[in-house]
Structure 1
Amino acid sequence: MEEAVRITLRARTRAAAVAVVAGAAALALSGCGSGGDGGAQTPIASAAPSHLAGTVSLWHFFSDREAKVIQGVVDDFEKANPDVKVVVHSGQDDEKLRKAIAAGNDVDVAVSYSTDIVGNFCQSGAFQDLAQYLQRDKVDLDQLLPTVRSYTEFDGTRCAMPVLADAYGLYYNKSLLAKAGITTPPKTLDELEADALKLTTYNADGSIKTLGFNPWMGYQEMAPAHLAPATGAKWLDEDGKSLVGSDPGWKELIEWQKAFAEKIGTDKLKKFTAASADEFSAQNDFEIGRVAMNLDGEWRVAFMKDQAPKVDYGTAPFPTGSDHTDLYGGGYLTGNIGGIAKGSKNPELAWALLKYLTVDTDAVVKLANGLQNVPTITSAYDSRTSCGTRTSRRS
């Protein structure tokens, strides 16, 4: 079993859950600017259709290898429902999705890579309220992991379902660490900085050749939400007001990053970062050895296998502040979300597809194994194939 999964499971500790839920709440609130309740929703049939037929569209953001994984599960859905045709629109980012729904385009089921839109889409009605379907079909929401359940609803409205989850941790190049005499991955931010400075090498002109770790905010997955659990930084107070400007965890994190960048050389770091390739390309800095350590999600395991199979790497929980070692092993948990667009021409068929993608055990396991994302329903952790081989990420 890949070590990245241990990060995921440890992220379900109480300390991590508190940090994650607070972050998710802030993200949801940040997307509430459009206003409106989306209008009343048309009542649905008292029972789910006994036979599914028709055409339904699925919009998602995955591309290339990952899009093939999605298509494989869609094929299974069509095989189980021979009179259904799923028209797949892959490579659709959140901005394209927003515009398509607003324009009334043919969007039935939509999958987003961000929980940021949940507050906006639930409140505005861009994603339909799923309460009627969930109650009628007796979908057990207790099978969702608590954190996942929290970030797929807003202000009492569940307009989204989780399409797997992401957990973050530290990836490190074992060969580069061994060459520098480092035997274990860092556990504190101070250790991360010290190891990174030791791992950083320079070209003859003084520019960075290999970077131990890039502390630059905005570099790949170096986002505030992903880093907050390292210092226990809080987003909101009990009244829902922002703590970003006053919580000591944020100050500690920002001061650490600033001092770290200055030791490397801010101008050199800017130039190095500007020359980085797209993080999802085969020229990813970590995959080609341009950085020795990196903060990344569990999906990198699949990318490494596909794009950089010869790299000897390991994973570990992301380091914490020296005064927050009790948080070590936790981290940020988020994920993809799916919903039924307000303009869906066949909402019953859209719900059937969304339900299949999110709570059907076999479908969730196949998606999780193919994408190397984290399953979000408890039954997926104990799933087995017909030959008895455990297939979930927990194996």
Structure 2
Amino acid sequence: MPRWRIPLRAPVVLAAAGLLLAGCANPSTGSADDDPTKPVTIKFWHGWSASGEVEAINDSIARFEKLHPNIHVQSTGNVTDATLNQALRAGGDEAPDVVSSFTTNNVGQFCDSGMWADLDPFMKKTGLDKDKTFPKSLLDYTSYDGNQCALPLLADAFGMYYNKDAFKEAGITHPPKTMSEFVADSRKLTKRSGNTVKRVGFMPNFRFYQNSPDRLFAQWGPTYFDKDGTSRLAKEPASYEFFKTAKKLMDAQGGYNALERFRTSFGDEMSNQNAFLTGKVAMHLDGEWRGLMLNDDKAKFDWGVAPLPVPDDQVEKYGRGYLTGTVAGIAHSSKHQNAAWELLRYLTADTDQVVKFANAIHNVPSTKAALTSPKLDADPTFRTFLDIAKNKYSQVLPPSTNGGMYVVQLQDFSYTEEAGKVPNLKSGLQRLDKLIDADTLQSQN
């Protein structure tokens, strides 16, 4: 499925599948002794499945093969992390050479298990300076513990879509920049008929569409782990401010129960019954792809895009957002690693290729040069997300050896907390830290 269609709970499946990978102490050994100028066929596995996206990746491969006529690429799409991990465990001639994943949370497993090859030797050999080529935030989520086993292959940035007509009706002149403005505007934009909610300013419930708690939490710039790798959410001041703000958003619009009842009336996220598209939500956390969908569905109101608000004491960081994306690497078991590197380098670091691919599937480009290319889509709403991606304060999730399990645990805790079932937030966060640390320890054994 396309990256933006990954369900909110996908990390559960991926993290469980990752246990297959984490337990592999002796991955199949490949070879970097091949001559990339000789005729060879390599296999590339990726997760794209929508027709337009598959067409875009196939066009990318065709451009590569034109530049490298000796290298033939067999492309396989719609591949999940679970399938990929099983193939890498098995190794052999049927295993892929170049691999990709939509799940940045699993990079820690990919690197720590040894299943994805260290790319630093390839970059050194071919003169690719990763620090000059890729934004630091994207390098952060493609490496783990000093091992650069992946490179970014386009990115996603999250911001806020807002209904300009609803803003005008409510007398609001600009999108909120601070959390206090966010709460006040949400209250003004909420419409009721008696006890029934007709429209909310912002739906804060963590089960709603893209509202995984880590995405809004990023606006505080939290630190998830201490230097020794232990979870520190109970020690992180931002944790308390985040949940306090989430409750303020709830209370300003009728409370958890009313909002949860209203949420269950929403249509499917990817359909023409999307709650923002149908006017039931006036401000909406989402990624750069939503603009293209709003245009395709011919939204019946004027809409705009802005960065999500920041805490009142961090106004200078306004413009930040949550970043994630596709990652790609070379299978450790590949016996054609130099040829595989040629494909990987082209897909991730060639400026024209990155720009063409980004424009084709409406994702954020993942190199510094591509982000400033005049050939990029000039749509101003899309460029808002480019600015979020370039913002030095934007945040990515830290990699962990147990993949995205800590994000799943944060989600589960947040569902309970927003429902008012956590009597003491500090004690609850302390229990959450212990649970995350226990799972991390188990994945290392």
**TM-score calculated relative to the size of structure 1:** 0.80
- Does the Cα contact within 8 Å between 1:382 and 1:390 map onto a contact in 2? no
Q: 1:273 to 1:347 in 2, by over 3 A?
A: farther
Matches within 5 A, 1:255-266: 255-263=244-252, 264-266=254-256
- Does the Cα contact within 8 Å between 1:228 and 1:234 map onto a contact in 2? no
Q: 1:212 to 1:185 in 2, by over 3 A?
A: same
- Quote the residue 1:132 is aligned against: 121
**Counterpart amino acid of residue 100 in structure 2:** V
Matched, 1:355 2:342: no
CA distance in 1, matches of 2:146, 2:201: 44
**Counterpart amino acid of residue 295 in structure 2:** K
Matched, 1:227 2:216: yes
- Does the Cα contact within 8 Å between 2:200 and 2:280 map onto a contact in 1? yes
1:379 pairs, out of 363, 366, 369, with 369
Q: 1:196 to 1:120 in 2, by over 3 A?
A: same
**Counterpart amino acid of residue 319 in structure 2:** G
Q: Provide the identity percentage.
A: 37
- Quote the residue 1:53 is aligned against: 40
- Does the Cα contact within 8 Å between 1:188 and 1:320 map onto a contact in 2? yes
CA distance in 2, matches of 1:390, 1:265: 40
Q: Which runs of 5+ in 2 are unaligned?
A: 1-14, 388-445
CA distance in 1, matches of 2:157, 2:128: 25
Q: CA deviation at 1:37?
A: 5.5
1:34 pairs, out of 6, 22, 33, with 22
CA distance in 1, matches of 2:377, 2:281: 36
- Quote the residue 2:225 is aligned against: 236
- Does the Cα contact within 8 Å between 1:108 and 1:344 map onto a contact in 2? yes
- SS for the counterpart of 1:57 is strand
Q: CA deviation at 1:341?
A: 2.8
2:269 pairs, out of 279, 286, 291, with 279
CA distance in 2, matches of 1:326, 1:99: 46
- Quote the residue 2:410 is aligned against: none
CA distance in 1, matches of 2:273, 2:289: 16
Matched, 1:163 2:150: no
Q: 1:198 to 1:228 in 2, by over 3 A?
A: same
Deviates more, 1:350-359 or 1:85-94: 85-94
- Does the Cα contact within 8 Å between 1:52 and 1:81 map onto a contact in 2? no
1:44 pairs, out of 29, 32, 39, with 32
Deviates more, 1:272-281 or 1:370-379: 272-281
Tell me the alpha carbon deviations over residues 67-88 of structure 1, each in whole angstroms, 9 at most, x when there is no partner: 3322322232233344544333
2:57 pairs, out of 63, 67, 70, with 70
Matched, 1:190 2:180: yes
- SS for the counterpart of 1:330 is coil
Tell me the alpha carbon deviations over residues 85-124 of structure 1, each in whole angstroms, 9 at most, x when there is no partner: 4333333343443344445564332221221111101111
- Does the Cα contact within 8 Å between 1:37 and 1:123 map onto a contact in 2? no
- SS for the counterpart of 1:118 is helix
Q: CA deviation at 1:55?
A: 4.5
- Does the Cα contact within 8 Å between 2:153 and 2:348 map onto a contact in 1? yes
Q: CA deviation at 1:220?
A: 2.4
CA distance in 1, matches of 2:229, 2:99: 29
Q: CA deviation at 1:246?
A: 2.2
CA distance in 2, matches of 1:389, 1:367: 11
Q: CA deviation at 1:314?
A: 1.2
Q: 1:135 to 1:35 in 2, by over 3 A?
A: farther
CA distance in 1, matches of 2:82, 2:272: 25
Tell me the alpha carbon deviations over residues 170-207 of structure 1, each in whole angstroms, 9 at most, x when there is no partner: 11111121122211111122221221222222457x44
Matched, 1:253 2:242: yes
- SS for the counterpart of 1:49 is coil
- Does the Cα contact within 8 Å between 2:45 and 2:79 map onto a contact in 1? no
CA distance in 2, matches of 1:63, 1:345: 30
**Counterpart amino acid of residue 136 in structure 1:** K
- Does the Cα contact within 8 Å between 1:55 and 1:85 map onto a contact in 2? yes
- SS for the counterpart of 1:169 is strand
Q: Which runs of 5+ in 1 are unaligned?
A: 1-27
CA distance in 1, matches of 2:78, 2:268: 15
Q: 1:238 to 1:86 in 2, by over 3 A?
A: closer
Tell me the alpha carbon deviations over residues 37-74 of structure 1, each in whole angstroms, 9 at most, x when there is no partner: 5558545238x522453242332245243333223222
- Quote the residue 2:73 is aligned against: 86
CA distance in 2, matches of 1:91, 1:42: 25
Q: 1:86 to 1:310 in 2, by over 3 A?
A: farther
Deviates more, 1:79-88 or 1:118-127: 79-88
- Does the Cα contact within 8 Å between 1:125 and 1:342 map onto a contact in 2? yes
Q: CA deviation at 1:346?
A: 4.1
Tell me the alpha carbon deviations over residues 233-287 of structure 1, each in whole angstroms, 9 at most, x when there is no partner: 3223344432211212111111221232244232232233334344344433223
1:307 pairs, out of 297, 302, 311, with 297
CA distance in 1, matches of 2:312, 2:342: 48
| RMSD value, Cα | 3.2
Matched, 1:323 2:313: yes
- SS for the counterpart of 1:163 is strand
Tell me the alpha carbon deviations over residues 118-166 of structure 1, each in whole angstroms, 9 at most, x when there is no partner: 1101111222222332222222212111111222111111110100122
CA distance in 2, matches of 1:37, 1:308: 52
- Quote the residue 1:293 is aligned against: 283
Q: 1:114 to 1:281 in 2, by over 3 A?
A: farther
Q: 1:390 to 1:318 in 2, by over 3 A?
A: closer
